[in-house]
């Protein structure tokens, strides 16, 4: 990706704090570069200079826009992500729908997905782990409780551990043969297990 100079067009005088409204164009450019690098290398390995380099600007610009490396990460880590719509799926197909939802998103570009992005950094940073918990609650636990599944939290936890394990092994660690299977093969292999987590009776408490 060549260094897109891009004329930032001075931006519109939108609703932004008086603290310092900057060019919205380069702001997004920086955030995209930051997300890509944070997701690819993790927090420590990602340097401000590298982010600035990929964004085609100077490192001090990143500081002016986001204050600090932590501020940059915080800004990069807040993004909308849509929970899967499993309510519109018959109960027997919800396991597969759940797996397919995430696999489809991850197949496009794992680095672009918030869950993979957070996962990578959460491993080395405890505060990010809390954020991952929140995100996960909203995106997996939420839909399950909305459908009145009993023990929704525990079922979501089991399902989550499997989905996280998949994301970890396939997209981050790239372990074989998991990394070279097709998306459909992954879905076919995982869906029955997820379905089972949804429906199997719970023992103990």
Residues lying near DNA in the complex (CB under 7 A) are found at 7-8, 10-11, 20-23, 26, 46-50, 56-61, 63-64, 67-70
Binding mask 20-59 for a second copy (x = CB under 8 A): ---------------------xx-xx--------------
Rounded CA separation 57/188 (Å) = 45
Length of the chain: 205
Residue 173 beta carbon to a second copy: minimum distance, rounded to whole angstroms: 5
Enter the tokens of residue 167: 């994301």
Interaction between residue 176 and a second copy (CB under 8 A): yes
Interaction between residue 185 and a second copy (CB under 8 A): yes
Interaction between residue 3 and a second copy (CB under 8 A): no
Residue 200: count of CB within 10 angstroms of its CB: 10
Identify the burial level of 171 via C-beta atoms within 10 angstroms of its C-beta, where 0-12 means exposed, 13-18 middle and 19 or more buried: buried
The closest of 160, 6, 183, 178 to 83, measured between CA atoms, is: 160
Binding partner of 74, given DNA, a second copy, none, CB within 5-8 angstroms per partner class: none
Instruction: Please count the residues of this chain forming the interface with a second copy, following the rule CB under 8 A.
Output: 49
């Amino acid at each position: 990706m060549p260094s897109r100079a891009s004329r930032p067009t001075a931006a519109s005088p939108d609703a932004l704090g008086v603290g310092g409204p900057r060019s919205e164009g380069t702001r997004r450019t920086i955030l995209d570069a930051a997300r890509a690098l944070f997701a690819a290398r993790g927090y420590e390995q990602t340097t401000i200079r590298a982010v600035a380099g990929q964004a085609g600007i100077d490192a001090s610009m990143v500081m002016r826009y986001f204050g600090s490396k932590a501020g940059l990460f915080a800004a990069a880590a807040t993004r909308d992500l849509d929970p899967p719509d499993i309510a519109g799926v018959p109960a027997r197909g919800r396991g597969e729908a759940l797996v397919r939802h995430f696999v489809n998103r991850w197949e496009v570009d794992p680095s672009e997905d918030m869950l993979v992005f957070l996962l990578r950094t959460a491993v080395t940073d405890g505060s990010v782990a809390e954020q991952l918990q929140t995100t996960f609650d909203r995106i997996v636990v939420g839909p399950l409780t909305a459908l009145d599944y009993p023990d929704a939290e525990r079922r979501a936890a089991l399902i989550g551990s499997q989905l996280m394990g998949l994301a970890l092994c396939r997209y981050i660690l790239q372990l074989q043969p998991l990394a070279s299977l097709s998306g459909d093969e992954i879905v076919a292999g995982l869906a029955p297990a997820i379905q089972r987590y949804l429906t199997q009776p719970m023992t103990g408490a």
